[in-house]
């Protein structure tokens, strides 16, 4: 992947840290500058467009944490990384909980690990540059972006370029009783067109396909991680959120099926993007609770779409937060794209079919009564889209019955 032309500023003691970092990075094409005090760092930041700051916890005159805190306040768009040794445990906790640093590089570092952290921060910066200043400041106020769930990474590890280790994948999934039961229900639902009963996880993996399975693991794990960590928010309820995401996925798949009955890949894409389309709301609920609650209230009072209220109050909408997270996790591009455009599909430059299906499914999920999820407005859907997916006449009724049938099977979980 091409790295951006982001400038990196290193602050640290000349003799120890800076020399070692210089040597480590001499073959990289990054534009770096080195300073040895907090004052020098702030001087450079005032003059030059720095994208990334890496500071040692120990720098002459002041400490690295104080510098990070200052930079967070004055230059919130700069990504901040702290280099610290084992003795600095308290400092690390403070730097992370206060959101002064977004990443930590432990000392002594492993060269490869050091470079990977810088690479990943640069990728993060490139992604951020696609969004506005306000977004960058907001996202950089989060201490650490959520990591991919462990079982997701384990299951991903069973997939190589030319084969999938179904045995190993089934063994990993079988350890999780709730997940096993959920996947069996999905595999037995009419949505995946199975005529015979699927009674073991291996068969379920074959019926569902690995893409669907890992997207279900991801959405469940992310909801779980948020479930344990947020106090209730008026107008946003996690069960409603899950129901809404699941029905949007089901309806989106059925809509694509009505156009391309034999194209399983496209149907799966619609399902996956539908399942994850509102994931940005979880980011908003977890990290920007107060503003998100205000946006929900504003949307309800003003009778305006939630994403418009979020932009007015937080400066960014759940569509941007979600697509950023999908990019950060390196999920396939169509997922980030659909998340970003699911409220304005008409602006999609390419492949609008999945985006249109998710847009419509999102609206229909509310209309069919599955989870209000902060978005209560009955919106007008363009007639041409209605016609495109055969929803005029009896089409809508048939779709609703099909979606309800699938939901009934899943509710037995
Ligand atoms: Fe949405
Ligand atoms: Fe939605």
- Tens of pLDDT, residue by residue over 334-349, are 898 899 999 988 887 7
- What is the DSSP annotation of 157-188? TTB-SS-B-HHHHHHHHHT-HHHHHHHHHHHH
| 346 Cα to the center of ligand 2, angstroms | 17
**Residue 119, Cβ neighbours under 10 Å: how many?**
14
Whether the per-residue pLDDT at 121 is higher than 90: the answer is no
Whether the per-residue pLDDT at 195 is higher than 90: the answer is no
Same fold across 7-139 and 171-411: no
Grade residue 3 by pLDDT with cuts at 50, 70 and 90: very low
What is residue 2's predicted lDDT score, i.e. its pLDDT? 46
| 282 Cα to the center of ligand 2, angstroms | 12
| 49 Cα to the center of ligand 2, angstroms | 37
| 278 Cα to the center of ligand 1, angstroms | 5
Distance in Å from the first CA to the final CA of the chain:
42
| 239 Cα to the center of ligand 1, angstroms | 16
Determine phi and psi for 196, rounding to 5 degrees.
-115, 155
- Find the ligand nearest to 371 CA: 2
What is residue 377's predicted lDDT score, i.e. its pLDDT? 59
Please name the helix (run of DSSP H) or strand (run of DSSP E) that holds residue 56, with its range, or none.
strand 50-56
| 237 Cα to the center of ligand 2, angstroms | 13
Domain boundaries, the chain: 7-139, 171-411
> Does residue 344 sit in helix, strand or coil?
coil
Ion ligand 1, residue ranges at CB < 5 A:
278
What is residue 412's predicted lDDT score, i.e. its pLDDT? 64
| 389 Cα to the center of ligand 1, angstroms | 20
Cα 349-213-389 angle, rounded to 5 deg? 40
For the chain, the average pLDDT equals: 85
Domain at 7-139: CATH code: 3.40.50.2300
- CA gyration radius, the chain: 24
User: What residue spans of 303-372 are helical by DSSP H?
Assistant: 306-314, 318-328, 333-341, 352-367
Give per-residue pLDDT as tens, 200-245: 999 899 888 888 998 898 888 888 777 677 778 888 888 888 889 9
What is residue 144's predicted lDDT score, i.e. its pLDDT? 66
Please name the helix (run of DSSP H) or strand (run of DSSP E) that holds residue 84, with its range, or none.
strand 79-84
Give dist(CA 68, CA 55) in Å, integer: 8
Grade residue 379 by pLDDT with cuts at 50, 70 and 90: low
Domain at 171-411: CATH code: 1.10.3210.10
Average pLDDT over residues 76-94: 80
What is residue 248's predicted lDDT score, i.e. its pLDDT? 94
Give per-residue pLDDT as tens, 23-42: 888 888 888 999 989 999 99
């Amino acid at each position: 992947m091409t790295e951006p032309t982001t400038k990196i500023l290193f602050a640290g003691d000349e003799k120890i840290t800076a020399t070692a970092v210089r040597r480590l990075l001499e073959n990289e094409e990054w534009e770096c500058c080195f300073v040895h005090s907090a004052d020098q760092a702030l001087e450079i930041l005032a003059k030059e467009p720095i994208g990334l700051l890496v500071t040692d916890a120990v720098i002459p005159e002041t400490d690295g944490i104080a510098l990070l805190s200052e930079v967070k306040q004055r230059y919130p768009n700069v990504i901040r990384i702290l280099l610290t040794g084992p003795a600095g445990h308290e400092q690390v906790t403070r730097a992370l909980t206060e959101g002064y640093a977004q990443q930590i590089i432990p000392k002594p570092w492993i060269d490869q690990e050091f470079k990977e952290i810088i690479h990943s921060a640069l990728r993060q910066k490139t992604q951020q540059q696609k969004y506005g200043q306000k977004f960058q400041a907001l996202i950089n106020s989060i201490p650490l972006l959520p990591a991919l769930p462990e079982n997701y990474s384990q299951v991903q590890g069973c997939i190589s370029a030319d084969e999938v280790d179904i045995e190993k994948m089934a063994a990993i999934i079988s350890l999780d009783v709730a997940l096993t039961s959920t996947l069996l229900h999905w595999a037995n639902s009419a949505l995946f067109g199975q005529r015979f009963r699927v009674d073991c996880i291996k068969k379920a993996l074959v019926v569902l396909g690995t893409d669907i399975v890992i997207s279900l693991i991801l959405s469940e794990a992310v909801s779980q991680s948020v479930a344990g960590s947020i106090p209730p928010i008026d107008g946003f309820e996690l069960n409603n959120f899950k129901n809404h995401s699941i029905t949007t996925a089901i309806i989106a798949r059925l809509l694509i099926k009505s156009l391309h009955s034999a194209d399983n890949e496209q149907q799966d894409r619609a399902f996956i993007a539908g399942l994850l389309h509102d994931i940005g709301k979880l980011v908003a609920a977890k990290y920007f609770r107060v503003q998100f609650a205000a946006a929900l209230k504003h949307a309800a009072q003003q009778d305006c779409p939630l994403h418009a209220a979020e932009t007015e109050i937080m400066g960014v909408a759940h569509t941007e937060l979600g697509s950023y997270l999908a990019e950060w996790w390196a999920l396939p591009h169509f997922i980030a794209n659909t998340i970003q455009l699911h409220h304005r599909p008409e602006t999609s430059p390419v492949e609008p079919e999945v985006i249109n299906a998710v847009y419509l499914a999102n609206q229909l999920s509310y209309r069919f009564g599955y989870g209000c999820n902060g978005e209560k407005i009955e919106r007008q859907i363009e007639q041409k889209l209605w016609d495109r997916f055969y929803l005029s006449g009896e089409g809508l009724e048939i779709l609703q019955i099909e979606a309800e049938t699938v939901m009934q099977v899943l509710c037995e979980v």
